[in-house]
Structure 1
Amino acid sequence: MSQPTLRYGDRSQAVQQLQRSLIARGYNLYPDGDFGDETEKAVRAFQLKVGLVVDGAAGSKTLAALAGADCSKLLNNATLVAAAERLGLELACVYAVNEVESAGAGFLSNGKPAILFERHIMHRQLSTPRSADQVAGKLKARADLLASEFPNLVNVRPGGYAGGVAEHQRLAQARQLDDTAALESASWGAFQIMGFHATRLGYPSVQAFAAAMAQDENAQFDAFVAFIEADPVLHKALKARKWKDFAATYNGPSYARNLYDVKLQRAYERHAGCGCGQQAAA
């Protein structure tokens, strides 16, 4: 899923191919290679028909759906509509945060959820008492011992990333040391929700959370919604469309350098006038 996203204003042979694919699906277009109003309208109609997010942009998911790929695990529009209602937000707000804060695909090419294992979180979780009878000093001593034996899995410093499918290999090895701490030490899905948030977000255990993240992108988005819901500051900023406050809370100090607030504002403005809400309810 590495194709560039085609959107309003683009002019290229890729747009012409997109138009031909839409024509083959029954949409009345002229294949001129110009992504204008009619092409955007057709893209939205197709996305609505197959259940994808109705954003009017032809990214890898929309292009894959046009090619006949299985879309059963992909985020669908109904999930965003339900999230907007649950959080008391404009649908355009939900579209904006999905567009900007999502890593894109929630699953790898082998069907496993996208994850990133954090060895320094593993060290922290192993060192943290979980009951009154556990002694912090003894736990830390064990964590330090494991760090000396398995520095790629337990460490006081971040790093050791392998990326992609190989992150699941790291996670599997870490689970042999401590299943709960390992699952808590990975970020999961398209929105990179850390496993240690699981019970705070309403999951009975981190194991249940990990199982949900392996279901589909809709379950991953539900975790993202729960994350916003569980943070009053984050939720309030989003309701008020205070993008700088939202980005500073969700993305951390790097938000300004990466222009997250600007991207959110622009995405919201683009979606606010698109009629997405009307189409979604159709």
Structure 2
Amino acid sequence: MIGTITASRLNIRAQPSQQGRKLGEYSLGTLIDITGERLGWFEVLYQGQPAFLHADYVDLVEQPSRLIGRVTANLLNVRQQPDSNSAILGTLTAGNRVELLAQLEGWLEVEFNQGNAYVAREYVDLHPREAPQQGVVDANLLHVRSQASRQASSLGQLAAGSRVVIESRLGDWFEIPFGSSRGYVAATYIRTLQEAELLSGPIAENEEEEEDSSLAPAQPADEASRLPPLQRLPISGSSQARKVATTWNRYGGLLSRLSDEKQLDVACAVAVLCVESSGKGFEESNQGRMIIRFENHKLWKFWGRQHADDFHNHFRYKTSQTWKGHQWRATQGEEWHKFHGSQRAEWEVLKFARSIDNEAALKSISMGAPQIMGFHHEQIGYPSAEAMFDAFSNDIEAQIRGFFDFFSRTMVQRLQRQDFSSFAGLYNGSGQKQKYGSWIKQHYDALKQIAPR
């Protein structure tokens, strides 16, 4: 497991106790490898020796795709399996970026040549993935290098005013997408879009692109938003077949159009929705309210850490497997209650949490048919978790469009290859990716069997 330090300074102790001998400190945001867990303490290796950190001040990184890796070895073997005797698929050099899919003991599962491969964990530094920014070239002609070095080979050149997407920073260099791969440009010759607009006003879009888009025939509003498909499927057979047919009959029209935009097989989208929520955005037996799932460990992150005593009076979960052991109670003296599995109970917990901190509570739920967490609101275009909640609560189309907006490029690639387990590791978290991947495949196969050829 990988964790992030959430305290400004967190003591590293020799024993899992507040009285344990202090060995050192980690600062806010430090990424650490967790080797075990003991009664509210995480075990780590510190200077080669076992050490302990208080679990309340460490957030588990449930989705490795939120991290990027940088190779630290001069030459690092990329292997077919997480085994030092496994076949070597290729090599990486110092400074190379790796896209994480999952962490195993001593190994990282990474993207390599459009597939999955493994590298030794000890030779990769991990960093939080930053939100991409747009930039503008501020030089007459700027080289794009293969590495973050002026001595590296040039992949091509960018003219003044060219726009780039800044994915990360490595010292004095920005990493950008370039062609079918990535390259590096000197940061001193790139202005962020905000900086460029402050200097010269808003930057106009390419005139030719504007002209082309104005000539494109407008799609009728009722066609663009129509949910059902033109051809419905019979609802019969196995539970998976019935579920995918029902989901297709509800939303197949919109799902097909949005899947085409992503160059996805629509059966992938149907299968994921079926696994996430049985293809439903709202629960009729719960007054027609949106389907949600309240996550105690997320409330800890967004509110509880600053109000630890109050949090522990009302909420608890298993720190070593944060998706388990969720219970709550309204008052300190009453018994603890489980709530997952009942939408009425989920909404009762949400109502209580919103009375404490509205935005933190809404960040802590997964919402609607795609079950996207509220803290992802910016990624799908909402200014706050409350704005996302309001939109998803009122409109199934907002849920489905948010579903596709949430797909990263890597998620799309995984679905295009029908690599459902790797997709689930990105969408659901690596802890249960095999289980979720298997379920997605079952529903995908079920739709393929009953859909018209």
TM-score (norm 2): 0.39
In the other structure, the counterpart of 1:71 is none
In the other structure, the counterpart of 2:268 is 93
Give ranges in structure 2 of 5+ residues lacking alignment.
Answer: 1-225, 237-241, 328-337
In the other structure, the counterpart of 1:183 is 362
Residues 160-199 of structure 1 aligned to structure 2 (within 5 Å): 160=327, 161-162=338-339, 163-199=342-378
Q: Is the 8 A contact 1:55 1:271 kept in 2?
A: no
Secondary structure at the aligned position of 1:116 is classed as strand
Q: 1:151 aligns with which of 287, 310, 314?
A: 314
Does residue 1:115 correspond to 2:279, yes or no? no
Q: Which has the higher strand share?
A: 2
Does residue 1:83 correspond to 2:262, yes or no? no
Q: Which has the higher helix share?
A: 1
Q: Is the 8 A contact 1:123 1:154 kept in 2?
A: no
Secondary structure at the aligned position of 2:293 is classed as strand
Task: Report deviation, 1:196.
Answer: 0.7
Task: Measure the CA separation in 2 of the matches of 1:166 and 1:147.
Answer: 18
Secondary structure at the aligned position of 1:93 is classed as helix
Does residue 1:249 correspond to 2:429, yes or no? no
- 2:256 partner letter: V
Does residue 1:264 correspond to 2:440, yes or no? yes
- 2:432 partner letter: S
Secondary structure at the aligned position of 2:282 is classed as coil
Q: 2:403 aligns with which of 210, 221, 224?
A: 224
Task: Measure the CA separation in 2 of the matches of 1:155 and 1:246.
Answer: 25
- 1:90 partner letter: D
Q: Is the 8 A contact 1:123 1:147 kept in 2?
A: yes
Task: Report deviation, 1:144.
Answer: 0.7
Change (3 A) 1:100 1:166: closer
- 1:227 partner letter: F
- 2:379 partner letter: R
Identical columns (%): 27
* Structure ID, larger Rg: 2
Q: Is the 8 A contact 2:379 2:405 kept in 1?
A: no
Secondary structure at the aligned position of 2:348 is classed as helix
Task: Measure the CA separation in 2 of the matches of 1:274 and 1:103.
Answer: 17
Q: Is the 8 A contact 1:126 1:181 kept in 2?
A: yes
Task: Report deviation, 1:154.
Answer: 9.7
Task: Report deviation, 1:239.
Answer: 2.0
In the other structure, the counterpart of 2:126 is none
Alignment root-mean-square deviation, CA: 3.3
In the other structure, the counterpart of 2:392 is 213
Task: Measure the CA separation in 1 of the matches of 2:367 and 2:234.
Answer: 27
Change (3 A) 1:75 1:146: farther
Secondary structure at the aligned position of 1:147 is classed as helix
- 1:261 partner letter: G
Task: Measure the CA separation in 1 of the matches of 2:353 and 2:367.
Answer: 15
Task: Measure the CA separation in 2 of the matches of 1:55 and 1:253.
Answer: 34
Q: Is the 8 A contact 1:143 1:154 kept in 2?
A: no
- 2:412 partner letter: H
Give ranges in structure 1 of 5+ residues lacking alignment.
Answer: 1-48, 64-73, 128-139
The structure whose RCO (Cα within 8 Å, separation 6+) is larger is 1
Task: Measure the CA separation in 1 of the matches of 2:359 and 2:317.
Answer: 14
